[in-house]
Amino acid sequence: MYQRLNVVISGAQGYVGQELMTLINAHPCLNLVGIHVREGNIELPPSMPIFMRKTITIFSTPDLQQQASEIDVLLLATPANVSMAIASTLINTNILIIDLSGAFRLPEKQFIDWYGIPHTAPHLIQNASYGLSPWVVHSTDTMLIANPGCYATCALMTLLPLLKTKLIHPDSIIIDAKSGVSGAGKQAKPALMFAEISNNVYPYKLGKHQHIPEMCNHIEALCGTAIQLRLSTSLLPVVRGISMSIYTDVAPSFSSDKALSLAIKEAFDIAYEDYPLIQYAEVGQNDTCTDEFMLGLKNVIHTPYTHIGYLINNGQLTLYSCIDNLLKGAASQAIETINTLFQLPIQTGLLAAREEK
């Protein structure tokens, strides 16, 4: 019998925060003891799941400090500046902090350059463990985990097996990524109004997306390979999901497309042998059902899965991947992190939550 872990969410009003509440409610070993607010009062919005429309404990920061011995995990579904303030205040408690913002993913100088704000807790960065499941193994004394960004997650899950086996050239990677508008958060912005985004697709953060250095840094850390990549990000007129096309040169010489296909499948098989939340297949083989299932965004949203397709044509390789930006790109990946740290099967509580939705 596993122990039940007490969890608090900061930022529960946002899209990711609400996903976390759904997942924790369905998890057999997690107990949502309350939500954290830094100041003022909070009301649960009508869009909250029906099971959460009840009285719930509201924790201030002093409350968390005083009751730290009764709280196992604090999930920060907050903007980077808020995460920095909360983490710096609570880091010396016994609470495991999992931050879903970009506050602790980059070195201080890179953070300032790419996020455009000062870092108020730089002393915490080097001790923050990167939370990419299943690629990172956390030490038992880890107290701060920086979970990856959604684009970074989608790209790294696809590229890492091939870079580790040196199947692709590290300086040839071009990523064309498209995301639903929930990735921009819940704050009102004119450009994200229905009348603006409906029937429209447009690139944004041209050459300036903060997930670019995150990808490069962690590929080098996990593979020992310095890379250069180009990332284009666009908004889709859909609520959720990321669809990514990756173009890259194959590094070694293969005698045939079949030989290359076998090498790619073997790389994914080895990398994800013990990871159940991923599906991958060769596409473009005149199997319409496989192609539509692997590449269709609707087949991966509301699930914790990563879908990867690989297309080989005369020695040229194109990779396709998609995830739910609110789940594998944020909330369900945080639950994977908790499961791993507390020695639970990595998929615990994730598949049941989706089946009940």
Asked if 337 and 147 touch (Cβ cutoff 8 Å), the reply is: yes
Active-site amino acid positions: 150
The closest alpha carbon to 20, from 327, 241, 305, 299, belongs to: 327
Task: Report how far Cα 199 is from the mean position of its chain's Cα atoms.
Answer: 27
* Amino acid letter, residue 132: L
User: Any idea which residue has 């108020």 for tokens?
Assistant: 120
Asked if 250 and 168 touch (Cβ cutoff 8 Å), the reply is: yes
Q: What is the CA radius of gyration of the chain?
A: 20
CA distances from 56 to 8, 63, 64, 166 (A): 11, 14, 15, 51
CA distances from 330 to 119, 150, 291 (A): 22, 6, 26
* DSSP letter for each residue of 331-353: HHHHHHHHHHHTT--TTTTHHHH
Asked if 349 and 23 touch (Cβ cutoff 8 Å), the reply is: yes
